[in-house]
Amino acid sequence: MVEKFSIAWKQWCQRPWWRKSLNVVTVLFALAGAAIIGAWGLYQLGVTNNGGAVDKNYRSLMEVSEIEDLKLANLTAEEMDNEWAKRYGRVAALARYYPVNARLILSASQHCNNPSTVDRMLAAVGIYIDNQKEVDQLSQRIIKIMEEVPQQSTTNAIPWMTGPEWPALKNAILRDSALIREAGRLSGVEPRLIVGCLVGEQIRLFNSKREMFKKYLGPVKVLSVQSQFSYGVNGIKDFTAQAVEEHLKDPTSEYYMGPAYEHLLDFETNDHVTERYNRLVDYRNHLYSYLYTGCILHQTMLQWRRAGYDISDRPDVLFTLFNVGFSQSVPKPNPVPGGSHINVGDRTYTFGALGFDFYYSGELADVFPFEREHFVSSQRMLTAEDVARIQENVSECKRPERGLEYRKDSTQKTSQDNQPDPFGVNHETVKPIEHTAQ
């Protein structure tokens, strides 16, 4: 046998190279064909089939799905709050043993309106918990302690949010949410900070001219646009807006935001006074009001940071400085919040406190979330097309004649001429800008 193999090997070695290559290729094809045919045969015989098996926890899986939903329609608001309190107690107990799962369940619970969903999540993770008895015992202790304190009927711990102003204002803000988020991206500012300024200004307006704004803001749920002395939904003064524009262009300014923002507020015409007025006193599209607000916040933060004081995580101070203006923004250690005094109900608040209350209340967090960085400096330069797209956000709505407030007979004319026409505001047709600066 060995001798025959040796003879065959010598004969193969004496063959020309092309014949050897052909022999090798032929053998490889034969092996590949045999492998394919063999695999097909095994498949046909069912050798490779995986028939599956019943999960060992199938009863537990069924029980999770069979948890009955609460009859939410039959529960009062207080009863619903009590049901949620029990679930939070159970999640708190789980957190002492399995904090990752508790955090995930708590986060998911914010996006569902049914406490029974939390029950299912807790039961599902419980399938893998060996010390479920310990978790249940702790859960019962927590719930028992909670039940010793009767469920309170107070709707909100923040007093000014319990009145009729906040629900109406919240709906109006939601209608502008796309524009606010876009202004935040363009100006490099957390949109929630822009809303904080908006809340303070709108609550101030509602309570300073209560009867007029009850007539418009409440029923129609639109933001009030100012056209006297201060302009737009955020009450930005003309000289403040002009200062913002100058800061964008001046690299030597302590407020300079960087080259990426220099053309953010470029004008289309040489009549900057009229164009600025038309931007801010726009009943249909409030993008420019939010853009100027974002720039004021960003520029003020940079002024303080360059002076050695970082107030980027002090919304109360930022709102206060927005309210009092650049002239009173003097960097110093230990700044304190304040600003204009605003009466809401039987309490007096400051502008900074109202914005602060909203910012940390959690209200509208699904639309304006808390971001890791409150300010972001973009490096992307705006193109001419980008600037033109921003400038398109000025509508052709009817505006009060500019300068009317400076005339001697202005008290007789402004009472009606300067009232907004809420029925002419169509926020639903406002389209978000596609471009973002970041």
Q: Which of 209, 231, 213 is nearest to 223 (CA)?
A: 213
Query: DSSP letter string over 260-275?
Result: GGTTTT--SSS-HHHH
Least confident of 172-186, 281-295, 394-408: 394-408
Which amino acid is present at 229?
F
d(CA 418, CA 403): 11
DSSP helix/strand/coil, 114: coil
Is residue 282 classed exposed, middle or buried when 0-12, 13-18 and 19+ CB atoms within 10 A define those classes?
Answer: buried
Asked if the model's pLDDT at residue 28 lies above 80, the reply is no
Contact between 78 and 151 under an 8 Å Cβ cutoff? The reply is yes
Q: Does 158 or 413 have the greater pLDDT score?
A: 158
* H or E segment and range at residue 280: helix 272-280
**pLDDT tens digit sequence for 365-383:** 999 999 999 999 999 999 9
**pLDDT tens digit sequence for 369-423:** 999 999 999 999 999 999 999 999 999 888 887 766 555 554 444 433 344 433 3
The phi, psi pair for 401, rounded to 5°, reads -65, 130
**pLDDT tens digit sequence for 37-60:** 777 666 666 655 555 555 555 566
Cα separations in angstroms, 170 against 198, 217, 280: 11, 11, 21
Is residue 269 classed exposed, middle or buried when 0-12, 13-18 and 19+ CB atoms within 10 A define those classes?
Answer: exposed
d(CA 114, CA 38): 55
DSSP helix/strand/coil, 321: helix
User: What pTM did the predictor assign?
Assistant: 0.76
Q: How far is CA 268 from the centre of its chain?
A: 31
Asked if the model's pLDDT at residue 5 lies above 90, the reply is no
Quote the tokens at residue 231.
């302009």
Quote the tokens at residue 335.
């700044």
* H or E segment and range at residue 232: strand 230-232
Rounded (10°) angle between helices 99-109 and 115-126: 160
In this predicted structure, what is the pLDDT of residue 260? 96
Q: Which of 380, 419, 168 is nearest to 257 (CA)?
A: 380
Q: Which of 167, 376, 353, 357 is nearest to 260 (CA)?
A: 376
Sign of the torsion formed by the C-alpha atoms of 89, 92, 97 and 99:
positive
**pLDDT tens digit sequence for 161-176:** 988 888 889 999 999 9
Quote the tokens at residue 29.
């094809």
Q: Which of 183, 390, 137, 398 is nearest to 294 (CA)?
A: 183
**pLDDT tens digit sequence for 343-369:** 888 899 999 999 999 999 999 999 999
Which amino acid is present at 164?
P
Contact between 312 and 305 under an 8 Å Cβ cutoff? The reply is yes
Query: In the β-sheet with 226-228, what is the strand arrangement from edge to edge?
Result: 226-228, 230-232, 236-237
Query: DSSP letter string over 81-150?
Result: HHHHHHHHHHHHHHHTT-HHHHHHHHHHHTT-S-HHHHHHHHHHHHTT-TTHHHHHHHHHHHHHHHHTSP
DSSP helix/strand/coil, 227: strand
User: What b/e string do you get for 385-411 counting C-beta neighbours within 10 Å, with b at 16 or more?
Assistant: ebbeebeebbbebebbebeebeeeeee
Q: How far is CA 66 from the centre of its chain?
A: 35
Quote the tokens at residue 73.
């329609």
d(CA 180, CA 433): 11
**Mean pLDDT in the chain?**
83
Over residues 274-278, mean pLDDT? 94
Least confident of 58-62, 86-90, 256-260, 310-314: 58-62
Contact between 224 and 414 under an 8 Å Cβ cutoff? The reply is no
